[in-house]
Amino acid sequence: MKRIVSLMIAVLFAVSAFCFFPAAHTGAETFDPNSVYEPYYILSNAETPTVSYRGLEREADKQVYPASTTKILTCIVALENGNPDDMVTVSANAVNFGRGNSLMGLEEGDQFSLRDLLYGMMLPSGNDAAIAIAEHIAGSTEAYAEKMNEKAAQIGMTHSHFVTVHGKQNDNHYTTVRDMALLTAYALNKSPKSEEFRKIVKTGIYTTTSGPREIRLVNSNRMIVDTPATETLPNPISCLYADAIGIKTGDTTKAGKCLIAAAERDGVTLIAVLYGGTIGDPEYNDGWNDAQKDRYNVKRFNDAAALFDYAYADMVHTVRFGDLVEKGLENTFEITIPNASAEDSQGGVLKAYTDISMDQMISVMQPDPKAKVTDLKIDANYLFTVQYAPIGEGSVVGSVAYVYNGKTLASGNLIAERSVKEGTAQTDITPVGNDSSGNNSSPITGNLIGDANAPSLNPDDVKPIAESGGCGLPENMRWVPIVLAIVFVLLIVCVVLFILYLRAEAKRRRAAARRRARQRARESGQYTDRR
């Protein structure tokens, strides 16, 4: 019984320690690079695309064939040099493809808008659309390839050379996965046409809006949309990824199965370039049916998802709200009450503090693993909704939200530190805060961590703690109440076991005392057996 009670108490303390003292870093600690199937890959942050995240890369500078991922460069050159509303006439050369080619479905003489052709090139990977686009903008595919190489050099792709506009096999058409990560980051964030590019590559299904007929286009990126079922593949494996924002697949015999994928979460954009799937794989068999091949087709998508999941989990850190306050994050705000009594000892200046607990744990996505969480640039967006007397001490006078990279980390009410009596009557009541809505705004100055220029606050986005994830906890710590409940149950069990132990021990001692009394009676000759 003693051992049982001791064990239960040890478990109780272990669970309690886990609950009340969470680790400052909650992300994954390791990732096995050998789990990535493709022989050439890199995972990077779009802010620093040529630097692999925690060294996750393999043969990143080896020259390889890019297959249809070439069309990322074809697309961005077209967006920067053409007008999406231009009508393009499809030539005979653009439709001169045999079986085994990925096509949009164009016919000679068709007229489609450049916009429709861009979707046709990027979603189903139409080689016919790529030729039509190139001829429209540059007059020929050769002249367009020159524009592609000029753009590649401008971006800094020093180990790449492009010959075709669609990526069909050519030994002089090559790149590296590091160069393609650089290109993808440019297309997503730095091109003057990044917004249009993002819209195209994130689209799952698109129907043309110009031309002689409607063409339904389905994205070949299975992280964006599930591949349609067919007679030969009735149950394709789903690879959907909620944070995926593109980009492009590729597949040729020499290039293997390729994928450039991108994901975005809490303002952090990650890029995964994976090339060469199935090349040299002794287990892969071209004679397999579609269902057998599908297990290999999805490896690139699953690998990209695994890389993204690891990196995002690794980037999540937790910190006490109180630690941020100690580092300078403002949690008390001032407002001057215009109709305060003339006898007010502080001249109508009212301070209000946030009711967010100093012990509340805040989860932060921090892309730089070397940076300190307490040094992050967190913005405090506040709004006074009550600014005229009479105001009672402890009353709610406004709200505040702490924001990092566009995500609200914590939010709460502003509580008046003291009461303010009414003096001269006022009728012009407008909220005051650091929002930019034109409502008599008053910006925060001086006490923020990092930049003091906080973004605008939408009052509808500010919620009391009770609405922001339960019990005043961040969303990823909603398990804490469950753990507390388990701790409470274990505590009750320990108490019950301990009481049972004490009762059993008392009974044992009473029995032992009776035995000792009888033994003494026998020894003195005063004990009589009554049986």
Residues with a known catalytic role? 68, 71, 125
357, 466 contact by CB (below 8 A) = no
C-alpha to C-alpha distances, 160 to 155, 163, 264, nearest whole angstrom: 11, 10, 27
Sequence-ordered strand ranges (E) for 221-320:
244-252, 256-265, 268-277, 316-320
Residues 343, 345, 351, 357, CA torsion sign: negative
- Ramachandran region of residue 267, left (φ > 0), alpha (ψ -120 to 50) or beta? left
Reading the block at residue 431, the tokens are 């909220």
263, 241 contact by CB (below 8 A) = yes
The identity of residue 462, as a single letter, is V
275, 38 contact by CB (below 8 A) = yes
Q: Rounded CA gap, 74 and 340, in Å?
A: 66
State the first-to-last Cα distance of the chain, in angstroms, to the nearest integer.
Answer: 35
Give the count of alpha carbons within 13 A of 36, CB side only: 26
| Residue 82 neighbours by CB distance under 10 Å | 19
Indicate the SS3 state at residue 42: strand
Reading the block at residue 25, the tokens are 């870093």
